[in-house]
Structures are given as C-alpha cells and as structure tokens.
Homo-oligomer: A and B are copies of this chain.
C-alpha cells in the first residue's frame, strides 16, 4: 500500500471514530508514537504496538468525544499529516475542552512506523 492510500484510509477511519482499526491495520509492531509533551499517565514516547494501544485505551476510557474532525491527508513520499480538531469532556472532572493537533506519520514498507503529534499553540 502506498503512503497516499494508507493516509486516505486512516483519515476515513478517524472520521468514523474507528481510530483503533487504523492502528490494527496500518501500524508496524515497532511503531514509535510521540506526543508534543508529557502526558499525565504516560511518557512522551510510546514504543511498540502494545504501548500505543494502551495509550489509546487510556484516552478512550478517560474522555468522552463530543465531536472530532480530521483534515487532510497531506501527503509526501514517505510521510503524511492529518489535522485533528476534538471537542472532548474529561470524564473525571466533567471539564469540556477543545483540542487541535497535527499528526505527522512516517510510512516504511507499507506500515506506519512513527507518529508524532503537535499541539495547537498561541
């Protein structure tokens, strides 16, 4: 599968809220996932499919997604980017917040081997 094909399908799955399925289908066992900063529950960098799935499970367990929008994909030879706009409620506090981020994905041998998230600032 080309970078463009993976990018398109990942965006379609995220639009349907099926982010987990994108991980199953397209992520390498050796995926490295990097957040813009430290997360409350985890280090900035997660290595390996099990760690990445665990991070996703934590996210879904602790947030209610009120709305989610995916923009793109934006594609180069072995990379693609997707813009995400979320409106979520933190279950523990009931606090509702908007978050915008860009995910930058690197593809190697038909699998996503690296993802990095950059958060909206300023």
Contact = CB atoms under 8 A, between A and B. Distances in A.
Interface string A71-85: 111111101110100
A121 B36 contact: no
A37 interface: yes
B8 A117 contact: no
Contacts of A34: 76
Most buried by B among A7, A35, A118: A118
Contact of A121 (B8, B37, B120): B8
A119 to B, nearest CB: 6
Interface of A: 4, 7-8, 11, 34-37, 44, 71-77, 79-81, 83, 100-102, 104, 116-122
